Every structure is written in structure tokens, then in C-alpha cells.
Homo-oligomer: A and B are copies of this chain.
Amino acid sequence: MGVVVQKFGGTSVGSVERIRRVAERVAAVHAQGKPCVVTVSAMGKTTDQLIELARQVSPRPPAREMDMLLTTGEQVSIALLAMALSELGVPARSLTGWQAGITTDGIHGKARIQEIDTRVIRECLDRGEVVIVAGFQGKTATGEITTLGRGGSDTTAVALAAALAAEVCEIYTDVTGVFTADPRVVPRAGKMDEISFEEMLELAHLGAAVLHPRSVECAMKHRVPLVVRSSFVDEPGTWVKEAKDMETERNVRGIAHDMHVARMKVLGLENRIETLSRLFGILADAHINVDMIVQSEHDAERVDVAFSVHEDEGEVAKGVIEAHREELGYLKVLYETGLAKVSAVGAGMVSRPGVAAKMFAALTDAGIRIKMVSTSEIKISCVIPRDRAVEAVRELHAAFGLDVTADEMAGAVTKGVG
């Protein structure tokens, strides 16, 4: 029988009472005789609290020691969930990342899973035990403890599902599925029954915050059947599947936003063939994820390059560029925070012209200044001032006809409660 992999996020295990409810949900699957592997995050705000503790000790703690510190959060969760299952009479065994055979590369703070040796997990499943694996963590080949970065528990779950050829990977979270926009920002956002891997990937990258982008990549690559569901409400959730299996009737499927964007402008770079590759090579070496890139050529001698990064990495990126000033040969660096990114996403977009025009018009009509633009086959993103972002998301959601009607909303509420 196929293995079921379930992942519960920090909110879902945020208290003893909630851990008990997760245990009941897992016990129900176990009672059906299904082999069950569960991945959990750290309880509630634990990770943030540990980060704050580290910050009090050192403004820039070594990444290796941050991993040592942060991995304790998930270890607490897995132990408590195993206890809760045991209290229900369900045999359960918790495993840290290294115990579960998860090997990663050595990039502390954002390691990538290289291999999962599933022998220990299989042995536990063969004995009829529920296996509870600490999300977000692994071990390098030389025995160092690593973390996969924020949202890494999703990646752990999907990677385990892939390695175990699971029949489904269920991601339990504090929302009932993937919405056309963040329902906290857009009251008229509606839940999607299904979404393609590609769309989900764009939404994940764009800060929709339901699934970690790497987990979507991994699911897409290994064709892992994935569903996002609520751990609090018994609803079908949103299936993430291959585009060819879907009916896409709308060109724009959702509006995503990311509230933590910083922009860097490197002005007056020498205009050589290797300029761009050298600049972004240096940033890649520092493990900085660059998002949008815009290049503008002044003349034969000089170019300006602007790019956006996550706000948390802005200072580091600036430092790295300043440290390589001589090598890069630029005139000036400008750094701007307080920005946000809003994006329209949809696999149907590629075949419908005018989406970009409609997006710019909506933002312009609202008097919102567009600072950067980038496009892909299935999305258009604009960087705008953060203090206008909420308004922008609502305007775009309405402009692309995504707002649900009052009747639909009433229906959704009834369904949610039932």
C-alpha cells in the first residue's frame, strides 16, 4: 500500500492542544492501515524566538551555529508528537534529519537535500510505526547539522514523498488551500480547487507563502501528488498537479505579493561582455538569491544594473558588492528598502495578449508608481512602494475578474464551518 506523507506547519503544532489534534488526524490514517510518515515544523514562534536569542548573543552569528540552534525547534515538535501518538496507543517514532537519512550539501542556513537513505524509515514502517521526521534539517556527509532555510519543512515532506514513492503528500497549513490572493489582504479572494505546478511555483516564489518554492520544484520534478489542506477545517484543499490535467479558463489565476523587497542599483559598471556574469557570480558565491534583474545601457562604456533581493539579504548583498568594488569597476551603489512586489500569475497568460497592459493600467489608475518590471511566460511582476502594496493587490484582483461574489463567499463560509 502506498505511503502517505503529511506535513504540519508551525501553526498546526503551535500548542499542546494542537499537537493532540494533529496526533488524532495522523492516528486516523494509521487506523486505515496506511504507512504514514509525518513531517513537522517547530512549534509556533519557536524559530523566531531562537533567532532573537542568537541575535542577543551576536549580531551576526556563524551560520553553522545558527543551524545547530534552530534545528532544536523541530526536534522538540517531533518528540511531542510522538508522545501524543503514543498516548493514543499508536506506535510512533520520531527521527531527526540525520536519523532519517537526509543528506544535504554544506550550505548552512539554506542547504539542499542531496540524498535520502530511507532504510531506517522503511524499517519503522515495516514494524507498523508512524514515522515522524523533523522538517527543515539534514546532515552533511561529514556529519554537520544543516537547515534547509525557511519553509524547508515543505521541502522535507516532498523529498520524503519522492524518495518513498508516496501515493500522496499532504501539506497541512493554517489556510484551507491556495487562494487567488492572500485572503488577509483581499477579502474577496477565492480558493482554487487545483493549480498547475508551474503556477504554484510562481506563486510560491512570489511570496504567496503557502508552499516553499523548492518543495514545489521537487514535487514537479518527481511528479509527487501534492495537496494543500487546512489542519483546522475539514475541506478538500487545493491539488497541485500537472498543467495538462487541468482546465484553465482564466488567463490570470492569482495575484501574489511579497512585502519584503529591497532593490539595489549598481551604477556605471564598465560595459564589458563579462560584467553581468561577474556581478551575479559574486552574489551567487555569497549565496544571495537575486530575484528581478534590469539592465540599462548608457553608452558603449557604462551600464547600470538594478536587481531585487529579499530584504533580509539586502545588507549582505550591498556589503558583497562594496567589497568587490575594484574588481567590478562601478561608480556608485544605491540601496532601497521599503518595497514590495505584486504579481499576476497564470499558465493561460502566454496565449493571451494584453495582460501586462491591463496590469500597468490598473496600477497607474490607482496612482501607484512602478519601480521595476519583470515577466515570464506565466507571470508579470511589478516592484512598487510597500505602503501601496495592499491596495495594489486588491485592485489587480478585481481588475482580472478574480473577486468572488457575495453569494460565493457565503457558500465558502458555510462549507468552511461544516
Contact = CB atoms under 8 A, between A and B. Distances in A.
A88 to B, nearest CB: 9
Interface in A236-275: none
A145 B98 CA distance: 11
Contacts of A98: 98
Given A66-B79, A79-B66, A20 B72 contact: no
Contacts of A58: 83-84, 86-87
A353 to B, nearest CB: 54
Contacts of A57: 16, 19-20, 80, 83-84, 87
B86 A76 contact: no
B50 A76 contact: yes
B75 A61 contact: no
Contact of A80 (B54, B96, B143): B54
A193 interface: no
A71 interface: yes
Nearest to A72: B72
B94 A65 contact: yes
Given A143-B120, A145-B96, A61 B86 contact: yes
A14 to B, nearest CB: 13
A149 to B, nearest CB: 17
A227 interface: no
Contact of A75 (B16, B20, B72, B120): B72
A163 interface: no
Contacts of A54: 79-80, 83
A68 interface: yes
Contacts of A69: 75-76, 79-80, 83
Interface in A7-31: 16, 19-20
A54 B87 CA distance: 11
Interface in A22-67: 50, 53-54, 56-58, 61-62, 64-66
